[in-house]
Structure 1
């Protein structure tokens, strides 16, 4: 009878230790706790926190969960018996503080950037508003974007001498359209935008993504080019939150692994 009870206890223990449960978690910090990356390193699962710092994640006993963010220090916890039983966890994150060393330049500075700016005397540089000149304050256009604007911007007044539509310069956009140059420049701008978006995603999410979706380092750049070649890359990744972008990357990750199978 004792042996039977011990055997049943052993089976129950195995079931408890191997059980996968969905836990409700919450992170706290000194500032914004939205979009904190939550990675189950052991179980290869990933999610992000909502505006209240809450998240849901599937875990097992002794899994290691990593919390990463630009605002907070990296933190790891190991899933305990209490976490599995309660299906809940509360994690307090420590702020990432980047302080300057104390330096002396003319006057004694504290190293506190905001304090030193307030205590430093000096005139700000003049800008075009100070002298009454209108100026552009938006994003600087790339070379390809400027060339496209010049190639497609039809202006009948260009090159005119007061005789109708003017010289041949005014017809440049029409010639560019007929010759295919405008189409070619549009294609260049689109490629440039996709390339910029791809590098931005790689820089922002690459480290965390590959922590839960392992891939050889020499294949990681090729993977992101593979993602950017997808017809829906711009649709699913431009102006989207990190969670939606990571869902897209995860889908492409599975496809990429199939493609590189020998």
Structure 2
């Protein structure tokens, strides 16, 4: 009788293990590195596209099964891909070593973003002239309007208003209004895409610094382009990278 019970348990456990390996389970592990800050590293199952992030100790849990590949990615570490084996699921000390990316902070690289315009940002539809209120004011103040005094001189004349606006400082003031208007547009888009809890809980930004971080993010040209594409996954990934840098700035200021 005991032998039958033992055989039944062996068969039952074997089926459970086989079923678990087929349907997938949760693998627990942690990342290791020379860096002290291990939080926020993205862990993605390349086959199922399930994604999670590491906690402050570098620990993570993600649904996966043997034969699938985990991709580890973050701004401070080089990307690493790990092919899972059955032994990884039974290893209580399963860990993945990540190598840091060395950044040259002493050098400032200036890039030409001349290709970024109102059309590429989605502010103006392609092939259609459309202006915001601030842009219309600036256009009016700087438009030479060659037909302004066409009735007073043969062939017309050029309006003196743009020159007067330039010397009076009105043109510079209107340009600032256009820049502010664009930042406000991106701020509203960012706040519609992510809740306050995302900044507090996921990105670990202190409440009193959330608004400052939003301004910091929309000052980044690369981020505003991705934000305006409305691709939430790409936007979230870059926002996490900017959060790491912003928290480093906060830490330096509070020393």
TM-score (norm 2): 0.47
TM-score (norm 1): 0.46
